[in-house]
Amino acid sequence: MAKNKQTMPMGAKPPKRKLNGNVLKRLLKMLFKAYPVLLPLSILCILFTAVVSTIPSIFLQKVTETVQDFQSTKDWAAASEIIIPQVVTLIVLYVFSIVSITLESQLMAYITQGFLYKMRKAMFERMQDLPIKYFDTHKHGDIMSYYTNDIDTLRQLVSQSLPTIIRASVIVISVLSIMVYYSIWLTLLLLVGVAFMVLVSKKVGGGSARFFVKLQRSVGGLEGYVQEMMNGQKVVKVFSHEEQAQKDFDRVNEELFQNAYRANAYANMLGPIIMNIGNVMYVIVAVVGGLLIAAKAPNLSLSGLALGVDIIVPFLNMTKQFTGNINQFSQQINSIVMAMAGAERVFELMDQSPEVDDGYVTLVNATVDAEGNVHEADHHTGVWAWKHPHSADGSITYTLLRGDVRMTEVDFGYEEGKTVLHDVSVFAEPGQKVAFVGATGAGKTTITNLINRFYDIADGKIRYDGININKIRKSDLRRSLGIVLQDTNLFTGSVMDNIRYGNLDATDEDCIRAAKLAGADDFITRLPGGYETELSNNGSNLSQGQRQLIAIARAAVADPPVMILDEATSSIDTRTEAIVQKGMDALMKGRTVFVIAHRLSTVRNSDVIMVLDHGRIIERGNHEKLIAEKGQYYQLYTGAFELE
């Protein structure tokens, strides 16, 4: 169920494909494209070894014939003159075959891993380019299962199923031709048996595949349940809810068991069934063959050989080989079905449309000459400018990066027809601090989502230093905006690395300075490894407040002219906040800052405070003005309304 949810992405749902044929075709195409030489080469090797592996039957027939011819005279010396050259030819063939199989198996190992690597890489790169909306509308667990489950199914497909199927079909075909060479009657007889086998495979294998798909789904269900429960385990304990949790778990577990056991039972039974149909076929061929010999029935064959023991013996062997390979075929059904389901999901991710970025205004290093003209520089100058090429006359203008952000009459909705922001206008001059307050869902975070273009506005204009932000290249726009979010996300690596994430060119000193500015230096230096302390698991060894301080330092080292602080200090206790307040003030100095905070003490000293209600700005002004107005803000301030 969990898995189905993510198939409801934005836009129209693609029509449900009937069969996975397209998926397979696309997958094979990608595989061939990735290895245009190696893959055909290794297929060639498979073909060769497959053909060689059918040859012993011919030799066996020849040897058997010879043995019978010489048995009456018991003259090994004479017989060996015929037998030895035969065996030598066989040995030569075998040597080639071993060489080719070595090559093939090594190649396949290389190709499989290489292909998986390419798929992973393609998936990850596509994922990086997807709009935030994708991540807001898909469960993280679902996204993860692309990497953990779905890709793994492809490994089985490429390394096992594909070669097996090629090999098995080649063997089946060549065995078949040899059989026709010997006896058409017996071959026809065998084919009847094969038809029966295919029928059974389809029935049993289909059942198995059906349950395997169900199984996948119940695995997802169980995983989701366990994930939620393990995350909330402490709550479970506090409420003594253990027994109930176990009961619920057992229910999910039982469903998984039912599907697992059915799927595997079908899969396990298929082998013995096919093999023994093969055994029965063997007997039938033998008996019918015997009958034909006894009746001295005329043989119909390409070779024109008369039906005799020397034909029956190798023919029987081939019967074994034939049914054995049909079995090989049927054993692959499950992994193919699962791989197709996996590939379909992988393609689903790859087919998501990436974030569009047609911005052409870029951020460049600049110098300002005595007359105040801005020039582009090829080195770091500490001064930045927007480079704005005009397509009309081919000229380029430079605008200094100042941090002037203006939203004019902006409307926006996450879903069509559901407007969450109405007619919002905000003017933030360089160095000003603008605060947003309002209840959950009022649209505070939405406004910041629009400024950095995580989402695009429906109507109205947003200008940055007078340039419409739609014209600015997204990466440059975001580079000019520092952002600190309520949910702090840190990366595995040292504290220093995490701070440097804000500016990859920053030196250690820059990072430490930023940490000091954010008021984080104090606790960092007290960590066992100082700045080199390794963080893992989203910095689980730090408190929420400490994580926020690192996030603030990370934004500080980027040194952007505009900062967005979305509940950035919500988890820092008021006493610590008072301590870092100075750093925060220093950090905000000279920057345009957008602040969202539910602690009104944090927003009091803003230049302008916007009170939002249901996506509209209902009051604006500084603290004193709003208090004097005795409107919504006044009520919030005195605690009459709930904030969050």
Partner 1 sequence: MIKRLAKCVREYKLPAVLTLIFILGEAIIETLIPFITADLIGNIKDGAGMPQIVQTGLLLVLMALLSLSFGGIAGFTCAKAAAGFSKNLRHDLFGKVQTYSFANMDKFSSSSLVTRMTTDVVNVQMSFMMLIRTAIRSPLLLIFSVVMAFVMGGKLAFTFIIVIPVLGGGLFLVAKKAMPAFHSVFRKYDRLNESIEENVRAMRVVKGFSREDYEKKKFDASAETIRMDFTRAERIVALNTPLMQLCMYFNMVMILLIGSNIAISCGGDPFDVGQISAMLTYGVQILMSLMMLSMIFVMLTMSAESARRIYEVLGEESTLQNPEDPVTEVADGSIDFDHVSFKYAETAKRNSLSDIDLHIRSGMTVGIIGGTGSGKTSLVQLIPRLYDVTEGCVRVGGLDVRSYDLDTLRGAVAMVLQKNLLFSGTIRENLRWGNENATDEEIREACRLSQADEFVMSFPNGYDTKIEQGGTNVSGGQKQRLCIAGALLKKPKILILDDSTSAVDTKTDALIREGFRTYIPDTTKIIIAQRIASVEKADMIIVMNNGAVDAVGNHEQLLATSEIYREVYEQQTNGGGQNGEE
Residues 416-475 that bind partner 1 (CB under 8 A): 439-441, 452, 454, 474-475
Site string for partner 1, 284-303 (x = CB under 8 A): x-xx-xxx-xx---------
Q: How far is the CB of 142 from partner 1 (least distance, A)?
A: 10
Check residue 526 for interaction with partner 1 (CB under 8 A): no
47, 275, 527, 586: which one binds partner 1 (CB under 8 A): 275
CA dist 534 and 527 (Å) reads 10
236, 400, 586, 618: which one binds partner 1 (CB under 8 A): 236
CA dist 457 and 300 (Å) reads 79
Q: Which is nearer to partner 1, 250 or 376 (CB)?
A: 250
Q: How far is the CB of 224 from partner 1 (least distance, A)?
A: 7
Site string for partner 1, 543-582 (x = CB under 8 A): xxxx-----------x-------------xxxxx-x--xx
CA dist 234 and 213 (Å) reads 34
- The interface with partner 1 within residues 136-175 (CB under 8 A) comprises 139-140, 143-144, 147-148, 159
Give, in order, the Cα–Cα distances in Å from 203 to each of 196, 206, 210. 11, 5, 11
7, 169, 264, 541: which one binds partner 1 (CB under 8 A): 264
Q: Which is nearer to partner 1, 122 or 368 (CB)?
A: 122
- The interface with partner 1 within residues 58-117 (CB under 8 A) comprises 59-60, 63-64, 66-68, 70-72, 74-76, 79-80, 83-84, 87, 90-91, 94, 97-98, 101-102, 105-106, 108-110, 112-114, 116-117
Output phi, psi for 564, to 5 deg: -120, 120
38, 47, 120, 297: which one binds partner 1 (CB under 8 A): 120
Task: Name the helix (H) or strand (E) containing 358.
Answer: none
Check residue 353 for interaction with partner 1 (CB under 8 A): no
Check residue 249 for interaction with partner 1 (CB under 8 A): yes
Residue 372 gets the label, from left (phi > 0), alpha (psi -120 to 50) or beta, of: left
Q: By C-alpha distance, which of 196, 337, 323, 195 is closest to 266?
A: 337
Please choose, out of 307-315, 384-392, 397-405, 612-620, the segment that lies near partner 1 by the rule CB under 8 A.
Answer: 307-315
Contact at 8 Å (CB) between 357 and 128?
Answer: no
What secondary structure, in 3-state letters, does 540-572 show? CCCCHHHHHHHHHHHHHHHCCCEEEEECCCCCC
Please choose, out of 19-27, 30-38, 265-273, 345-353, the segment that lies near partner 1 by the rule CB under 8 A.
Answer: 265-273
Q: Which is nearer to partner 1, 405 or 636 (CB)?
A: 636
- The interface with partner 1 within residues 171-230 (CB under 8 A) comprises 219, 222-224, 226-230
3-state SS assignment for residue 303: coil
CA dist 254 and 259 (Å) reads 9
Q: How far is the CB of 469 from partner 1 (least distance, A)?
A: 14
- What's the token pair of residue 420? 């969450």
Site string for partner 1, 527-546 (x = CB under 8 A): ----------xx-x--xxxx
Check residue 494 for interaction with partner 1 (CB under 8 A): no
- CA angle, residues 198, 204, 208, in degrees to nearest 5: 130
Check residue 643 for interaction with partner 1 (CB under 8 A): yes
Residue 357 gets the label, from left (phi > 0), alpha (psi -120 to 50) or beta, of: beta
3-state SS assignment for residue 300: coil
CA dist 598 and 436 (Å) reads 9
What's the maximum distance between 2 C-alpha atoms anywhere in the chain?
126
CA dist 116 and 121 (Å) reads 8
- The interface with partner 1 within residues 474-493 (CB under 8 A) comprises 474-476, 478-479, 481, 483, 485, 489-492
Check residue 4 for interaction with partner 1 (CB under 8 A): no
Contact at 8 Å (CB) between 384 and 365?
Answer: yes
Check residue 253 for interaction with partner 1 (CB under 8 A): yes
Q: How far is the CB of 561 from partner 1 (least distance, A)?
A: 15
24, 34, 41, 127: which one binds partner 1 (CB under 8 A): 127
81, 409, 534, 644: which one binds partner 1 (CB under 8 A): 644
Q: Please report the DSSP string for 164-216 in residue order.
A: HHHHHHHHHHHHHHHHHHH-HHHHHHHHHHHHHHHHHHHHHHHHHHHHHHHHH
CA dist 180 and 300 (Å) reads 9
Q: Which is nearer to partner 1, 309 or 356 (CB)?
A: 309
Check residue 585 for interaction with partner 1 (CB under 8 A): yes
CA dist 598 and 156 (Å) reads 52
CA dist 459 and 462 (Å) reads 10
Check residue 373 for interaction with partner 1 (CB under 8 A): no
- The interface with partner 1 within residues 36-55 (CB under 8 A) comprises 49
**Total binding residues for partner 1 by CB under 8 A?**
171
50, 178, 209, 267: which one binds partner 1 (CB under 8 A): 267
- The interface with partner 1 within residues 600-629 (CB under 8 A) comprises 600-602, 604-605, 622-624
